[in-house]
Amino acid sequence: MKLFIYKLILFVLLYLVIRQAIIYLVPYYWGNSCYLSKIKYLKESNLKPNVVFFGSSRIYRQVNPNLYDSIYFAHNKTKIESFNFGTPGNFPPQTYYLLNNFIESEIAQNCKLIFLELSNFINIDKVSLTQERVYYWTNLNFLILIIKSTIKRKDLSVDGKIEIIKNYINVFLKKVLGIGLFYDALKKENLYDELFLGPDKNGYVSLDYEFLKTSSEDLANRKKSLDILDLERRLKYASSRKEELNEIVDRVHLQYLYKMIENASKHGIKLIFILPPRNSSQILSNLANALPKNSVVDLSKNKDFYTLENSFDNGHLNSKGANLFTYKLFELYSQQN
Amino acid sequence: MLFNSIEFLIFLPIVFLIYWFVVQKNIRLQNMLIVLSSYFFYGCWNWKFLSLIIFSTLVDYSIGILLYRTENSHRRKVLLWTSILVNIGLLGFFKYYNFFIDNFIEMFSILGITLNPYSLNIILPVGISFYTFQTLSYTIDIYKRKFKPTIDITAFAAFVSFFPQLVAGPIERASNLLPQFNQYRKFDYNQAVDGLRQILWGFFKKVVIADSCAIYSNMIFNNSSDFSGSELIIGAVFFAFQIYGDFSGYSDIAIGTARLFGFNLMQNFAFPYFSRDIAEFWRRWHISLSTWFRDYLYIPLGGSKGGTSIKIRNTFAIFLVSGFWHGANWTFIVWGLINAIYFLPLLLTNNNRNNLDIVAKGKLLPSFRDFISILTTFILTVFAWVFFRAESLTDAFGYLKGIFSSTFFSIPFKGELKRDLILLIFFLFFFVVIEWIGRQDKYALEALSIKSNRFFRWFFYLILIIAITINMGEENSFIYFQF
């Protein structure tokens, strides 16, 4: 029996050594083809942006860096270069993982300002459980963070907490076992897609543009489902959120955000959080309220972002709305700082 | 809980360690651990249906003892039929209720009579087709006085619910498995290593072969009108490998896992695609089910004894029931019918027991004649698989019509093969070669420990694991879970 256990452990260690060697070969963003494409482009073009935007599709589809740069220039007479690192379905902890690694990388050398979409930790469901994009970023620190945060959350039932923790342990183990890792190490170059860079190669891809390029049935259906009543409901919900500091704040999450602010500051970078429209919740508001006032740009209650004119679908703005969003982002940030 | 899941990866070592380090000196405790862990394993899917397993266990345990103690032939028959009705009743209700209701309604609608449909939203409990047959064989063997019942309820419950084979077989006979629960089990290094090796090969078959083939076979079968005849053939071939990789892979994992705990389960697949005729195929495919039907249906009906009409009747009976066992759909019945038609000529001409040994035994390659026989048998089985896979008879005939169309000889996929497809073809080739080399053993890698040194073995295992992790994406359930 001892020999069996000994050999089994030895074999597993051998496998983990090989897996670790592969991890050194693949980049930290190996599971996210959109982010990979952006980083690859910046590396090849030797570009080092001054301002970057991180977040989900609400950043990816709604922040136009070229416009941001021209507005900045118009106000400050200084040229800057910004870049949109938003990727679809990118929520914490994945966003934090990418951002932390970005800050340590060479590409962040000239970076002075990072806008980060404020969002709750993603609840990994059974459907997304096996997608590489769900587990490529996980590590022990994030696992502990999620477990602590989930246990202390008062908005979840016991069953809900168990489900979330179980799913996160599951994705963590997938990462440990290197599932999907070897294939991506082999094919990582093929994950590159120019479409992710957008027409101006600044990482911004409006849904209008993508729809034009791909004629995707999914996008067509989303466009068709645009409903003013849904937009009004979201605006009403956003407007009804309380602004006062609330005791039901995720302190674990908050503490981590403070650490991120501190870490960014050590690298000479200012970290600003964005509350975009159509994704608000009281929990998120509580988090925003607990952060330093001038570090949060709240665009969630602006009525202009809930009109049919500025919308592509119920969850996102169209290019017109995105331009307005970019403008308002700059305006509000400038006012606060 | 699926075998190819992180949950099982955590579950198995925990149970293994407790089994061999905590309760190893006490058979009863070991059996109790097996029962509890098996119930947990099953309960992870749906704990409510544990009640069915427990019910089936208690009924057949009690009937087994009563059957043994009773001499009165009438009473014995009543007890036996109670067991049959309970087990088949459970199976019939959960698996076939809606099928019968729907066909009943359709039959009446053809006559112009409209009936109010009352289909129930019935969930098919995973593994019910397997454990009901397993417990049924127990009571039938006791009735025939071939086997003595056990009075140890824990051992019996462990026999019924043994987690490696609970949900998709092999369907074990009490005479093989139950005595193992009453024997002291000592950890055997070689058995455990061999078990792990078989598990690894099972995962390779399931994750690399079956799940990869499924991507293409599903794409082609679900949109068959968009594909040419040659592409439809490829889709059917991919399905043939999918179902073999899936089911035999599961069996390998089940058998290998059982060996980790000191149990020997029966071989369920013996390289069926190397068969030279259909009779041989059915001696090598899903052996536990085909032998179950042979012993408890075919032979009681008279088997191949008696006149031609009896043989024909019995052959059709066994294949149709076998088809129906797979699912409540006419496609499975037609699949069984096709196989009966294949088998019958061999039986009637006494050629059904020509190829009892493995093909090209002791040789590197088959003879040309054997190769043609293998190819012919494979093509016949692929043709039948079309019905097995199709959602309906209309789809199946449509699929076949598509194959035998003007595009039969067209170049598939316009000659452009994507990287994933090339990789899959490479893995299939590798798989067939390994299976061919290991065809004389119980599973393809069994002889690896004897024929190669440790360095080569470990390198080979790592290659397999890397191939498995490369292909491991979605946690696809095993096809036979739905049966």
Q: Looking at chain B from residue 337 to 396, which residues have their Cβ under 8 Å from any Cβ of chain A?
A: none
Is residue A323's pLDDT more than 90? yes
Yes or no, beta carbons of B189 and A4 under 8 Å apart: yes
Yes or no, beta carbons of A15 and B462 under 8 Å apart: yes
| C-alpha span between B290 and B292 (Å, rounded) | 5
Q: In this complex, which of B189, B458, B472 lies closest to A179 when CB atoms are compared?
A: B472
Asked whether A329 and A274 are in contact (CB, 8 A), the reply is: yes
Please name which of B67, B88, B262, B234 lies closest in space to residue B164, comparing C-alpha atoms: B262
pLDDT digits (tens, 9 = 90+) for A134-179: 788 889 999 999 999 999 888 888 988 998 898 899 888 888 888 7
pTM of the predicted protein model:
0.85
Size of interface A-B (CB pairs under 8 A): 50
Q: Calculate how close chain A gets to B192, using CA atoms only, in Å.
A: 8
pLDDT digits (tens, 9 = 90+) for B106-152: 777 777 777 666 555 667 788 888 999 999 999 999 999 998 999 99
pLDDT for position B449: 64
pLDDT for position B150: 93
What residue in B sits closest to A166 (Cα-Cα)?
A: B7
Asked whether B1 and B8 are in contact (CB, 8 A), the reply is: yes
Yes or no, beta carbons of A4 and B187 under 8 Å apart: yes
Is residue A233's pLDDT more than 90? no
Asked whether A56 and A274 are in contact (CB, 8 A), the reply is: no
Neighbours of B315 (CB within 10 A): 23
* B-chain residues near A187 (CB < 8 A): 419
The first and second tokens of residue B232, run together, are 């439809």
3-state secondary structure of B473: coil
Q: How confident is the model at residue B439 (pLDDT cuts 50, 70, 90)?
A: very high
pLDDT for position B476: 57
* A-chain residues near B466 (CB < 8 A): 18, 182
DSSP per residue, B390-438: SSSHHHHHHHHHHHTSTTTTSPGGGG---HHHHHHHHHHHHHHHHHHHT
Q: In this complex, which of A3, A4, A179 lies closest to B469 when CB atoms are compared?
A: A179
ipTM of the complex: 0.80
The first and second tokens of residue B299, run together, are 């032979």
**CB burial of residue B131 (10 Å; 0-12, 13-18, 19+):** buried
Is residue A186's pLDDT more than 90? no
What residue in B sits closest to A170 (Cα-Cα)?
A: B6
* pLDDT (mean) for A19-41: 88
DSSP letter (8 states) at residue A113: E
Q: Calculate how close chain A gets to B194, using CA atoms only, in Å.
A: 11
Is residue A248's pLDDT more than 90? no
What residue in B sits closest to A180 (Cα-Cα)?
A: B470
Q: How confident is the model at residue A6 (pLDDT cuts 50, 70, 90)?
A: very high
pLDDT for position B450: 63
* B-chain residues near A130 (CB < 8 A): 473-475
| C-alpha span between A93 and A99 (Å, rounded) | 10
Whether B458 contacts chain A with CB within 8 A: yes
Whether B466 contacts chain A with CB within 8 A: yes
pLDDT digits (tens, 9 = 90+) for A80-110: 999 999 999 899 999 999 999 999 999 999 9
| C-alpha span between B254 and B198 (Å, rounded) | 9
Please name which of B111, B159, B154 lies closest in space to residue B23, comparing C-alpha atoms: B154
pLDDT digits (tens, 9 = 90+) for B2-28: 887 888 988 999 999 999 999 988 999
Yes or no, beta carbons of A180 and B469 under 8 Å apart: yes
The lowest-confidence range among A276-285, B184-193, B423-432 is A276-285
* pLDDT (mean) for B175-179: 93
* B-chain residues near A177 (CB < 8 A): 9, 469
pLDDT for position A247: 63
Mean pLDDT, chain A, as a whole number?
A: 89
Q: Calculate how close chain A gets to B241, using CA atoms only, in Å.
A: 22
pLDDT for position B119: 57
**Pairing state of beta strands A270-275 and A113-117?**
parallel
The yes-or-no answer on residue B286 being catalytic is no
The catalytic residue among B95, B326, B389, B442 is: B326
| C-alpha span between A93 and A75 (Å, rounded) | 35
Is residue A129's pLDDT more than 80? no
pLDDT digits (tens, 9 = 90+) for A252-305: 999 999 999 999 999 999 999 999 888 777 788 888 888 988 899 999 889 999
Q: In this complex, which of A3, A130, A169 lies closest to B474 when CB atoms are compared?
A: A130
* B-chain residues near A14 (CB < 8 A): 458, 462
Asked whether B443 and B198 are in contact (CB, 8 A), the reply is: yes
| CA distances in angstroms from B206 to A132, B209, B466, listed in the order given | 20, 6, 14
| CA distances in angstroms from A180 to A93, A336, B213, B398, B477, listed in the order given | 19, 44, 18, 37, 18
Backbone angles phi, psi at A272, to 5 degrees: -120, 140
* B-chain residues near A180 (CB < 8 A): 469-470, 472-473
Yes or no, beta carbons of B475 and A130 under 8 Å apart: yes
Is residue A7's pLDDT more than 70? yes
> DSSP H helical segments within B204-295, as ranges?
211-222, 229-260, 278-284, 287-293
Q: Calculate how close chain B gets to A155, using CA atoms only, in Å.
A: 26
* A-chain residues near B461 (CB < 8 A): 11
pLDDT for position A69: 96
pLDDT for position A124: 79
Is residue B164's pLDDT more than 90? yes
Whether B461 contacts chain A with CB within 8 A: yes
Q: Which residue has the higher pLDDT, A37 or B420?
A: A37
pLDDT for position A18: 86
Asked whether A204 and A63 are in contact (CB, 8 A), the reply is: yes
DSSP letter (8 states) at residue A311: B
* pLDDT (mean) for A53-76: 95
Sheet holding A51-54, edge to edge: A82-84, A51-54, A113-117, A270-275, A296-298
pLDDT for position B402: 93
Yes or no, beta carbons of A180 and B465 under 8 Å apart: no
* A-chain residues near B6 (CB < 8 A): 169-170, 173-174
What residue in A sits closest to B463 (Cα-Cα)?
A: A15
